[in-house]
Amino acid sequence: MSGLVVELARGMRELVAAEAAESERIRTLTGTIVDEMWATGLMSALSPVEAGGVEPSLAAMIETWIEMAWQDGSFGWIGIANLPSRFAAATYLPDEGFAEVFTAHDNRVTMGGQFFPNGQGNAVEGGYRLSGSWSFGSGVGHSQYIAAGFFPMDHGEMRWIGEGIPDMQVAVVPRADISFNDGWYVQGLKGTGSYDYSARDVFVPLRRTFPLFTREPYRGSSPATRMGLMPVTAAGHASWALGVAKSMLDDVAELAATKYRMSDMAALASRPTFQKGLAHHVAAWRAARLLVLDAFTTAESAVASGADLTPTLRADMRAAAVFATDTARGCAEWAHLVAGTSSIREGSRLERAFRDMYTGTQHAFISEKVAIDVAQVWLGIIEDQVGL
């Protein structure tokens, strides 16, 4: 069943290739692609069975995201934005909220947004009055519900759930209650509809909220549902970077047979420096992929056996995601350079992938700060970092 999800994504290749330029032009994924994601079942595949999903393994998620990002960076980013957002809401919303958001719409609900708590929710009877501004709401251009992270406030005071740890919640808000400020004029990932948005004193009932770091599912039986949103998100970022990098390595290898540099009579493929570089970067890519699969499946197996998802297991997954991202960026830079002028023509896969790579890898989720947090857990300097 899990392998089916990868095949669903692979079946999108021809359509995504044809629509990629239009997605960039309109700055959000085309309706044609979104409709096909629903028609094939790809849009709902990661979600619990109750929400129309198939609950694939983390390995299957990783391979699916690599495939989607290989096709197009924006399409791949939608894969790691809309699909996990939907997974989280369908898994962690209480029953009344799930019925309102999913069941009432026959499970045809696309969801995107920013889960970082850039809002405040003033506690009132039955819920919160939500206000805030969120940037880079991945996938909101075609989402019916918008996820918005927030800090709950009781009588104007921050709510704390532990020593130095504030409560952080996610609100699931109907599109009509959100103001979209757009702002998505960017270097890469142009086709993702990652608009800025805001809310002003919007009432959100408790049934449409869930804790950001919860690992207690209301529905779904896969280990991923008991691992929480952070590991799924980390797997997504790692897979996305690997997929974009693989597209560039594959494209430059194909180009090499016919690519001649000025003043050089030999094809690129016949040059020893290119051959050595290709061997090194393909090997590095393969090693990074295996590290990601190892870290995430090890944690998944531990949870499946009933063990706790320890800080070390979470740190291992985040370290793998950061390493894979750094490795992928290095592969992309090499492919861009050896392709010469072939990599700078607008509209080519190489050109678009290079822009996408250097946009997507700016994300805070795979930043230097994450690597430092990981090392501090490994070294025993801190016991845990809640954001891992």
Token duo for residue 378: 């490994």
CB atoms inside a 10 Å sphere around CB 95: 11
> Do the beta carbons of residue 330 and residue 241 sit within 8 Å?
no
Q: What percent of the chain has pLDDT over 70?
A: 97
Same-fold call for 1-96 versus 227-379: no
- Angstrom CA distances, 196 to 113, 181, 183, 270, 387, stand at 9, 5, 6, 48, 23
| pLDDT tens digits along 202-220 | 999 999 999 999 999 999 9
Q: For residue 258, how many other CB atoms are within 10 A of its CB?
A: 10
Which pLDDT band holds residue 174 (cuts at 50, 70, 90)? very high
Task: Decide: 299 and 317 in contact? Cβ < 8 Å.
Answer: yes
Name the residue ranges covered by the structural domains of the chain.
1-96, 111-211, 227-379
pLDDT band at 340 (very low <50, low <70, confident <90, very high): confident
Q: Are 185 and 119 in contact (CB under 8 A)?
A: no
Q: Report the Cα 309 to chain-centroid distance in Å.
A: 21
Task: Look at residue 271 and tell me whether its pLDDT is greater than 60.
Answer: yes
pLDDT at 329 over 80: yes
Q: Bridge partners of 127?
A: 124, 205
pLDDT, averaged across the chain: 95
- CATH number belonging to domain 1-96: 1.10.540.10
Give me the torsion for CA of 20, 26, 27, 32, rounded to 10°: -50
Which amino acid, 227? Answer: M
Q: What is the CATH number assigned to the segment(s) 227-379?
A: 1.20.140.10
- pLDDT at position 268, please? 85
Residue 226: name the closest of 311, 112, 320, 308 by CA: 308
CATH of 111-211, one of 2.40.110.10, 3.40.50.720, 3.40.50.970, 2.60.40.1120: 2.40.110.10
Name the pLDDT band for 190 (thresholds 50, 70, 90): very high
Q: How confident is the model at residue 263 (pLDDT cuts 50, 70, 90)?
A: low
Helical H segments across the chain, by residue range = 2-10, 13-26, 31-40, 58-71, 73-92, 95-101, 229-255, 272-304, 311-338, 349-360, 368-379
Find the range with the poorest average confidence among 119-128, 158-167, 244-253, 275-284: 158-167
Report residue 53's pLDDT band, with 50, 70 and 90 as the boundaries: very high
Q: Residue 252's pLDDT is what?
A: 95
pLDDT value at residue 1 = 53
Global pTM value:
0.96
Residue 235 has φ and ψ, to the nearest 5°, of -60, -40
pLDDT for the residue 342 = 86
Q: What is the pLDDT of residue 164?
A: 86
